Amino acid sequence: MLQTENPDDYVLGTGESHTVREFVERSFGYLGLSWEKYVKTDRRYFRPTEVDSMCADSTKASKVLNWKPRIGFSDLVKIMVDAELRKVGLKPPREGDKMLEKVFPHRWWRVD
């Protein structure tokens, strides 16, 4: 983005739309856990003016930068869960790590 002749703002995203509930379901499901056992919903924290749906439109990035997403929602959830488990000293399933290794074989960051 910054290496273009005229740097600009771009939206990057998969073009998929998911709810927080879907994120929670996938995260717990990845670990073989039932999210209902651990998560409670408190409607007091719902925002009355919440936007019902948002979805990234990366058309500009696709056209100008020839960019396209390489990781979808399900794999992103696994990557995030693996990283969080590792951060707190637990051993992750590593499916997310394997996806990163596949999609970015020459990455500069390390996954231990």
Residue 34 CB burial class (10 angstroms; 0-12, 13-18, ≥19): exposed
| Residue 83 to residue 78: CA distance in whole angstroms | 9
Q: Which domain holds residue 73?
A: 1-43+52-112
- pTM of the predicted model, to two decimals? 0.84
Percent of the chain at pLDDT > 90 equals 75
Reported confidence tier of residue 112, pLDDT bands at 50, 70, 90: low
| Distance separating the N- and C-terminal Cα atoms of the chain | 29
Counting the structural domains of the chain, the total is 1
Where is pLDDT greater, at 112 or 73? 73
User: Counting every residue, how long is the chain?
Assistant: 112
Task: State the Cα torsion 53-20-77-65 to the nearest 10°.
Answer: 20
| pLDDT tens, residue by residue, 52-90 | 788 999 999 999 999 999 999 999 999 999 999 999 999
* Rounded Cα–Cα distance for residues 112 and 109 (Å): 10
Which pLDDT tens digit goes with each residue over 19-60? 999 999 999 999 999 999 999 999 898 888 877 788 999 999
User: Which residue, chain included where needed, has tokens 């590593």?
Assistant: 94
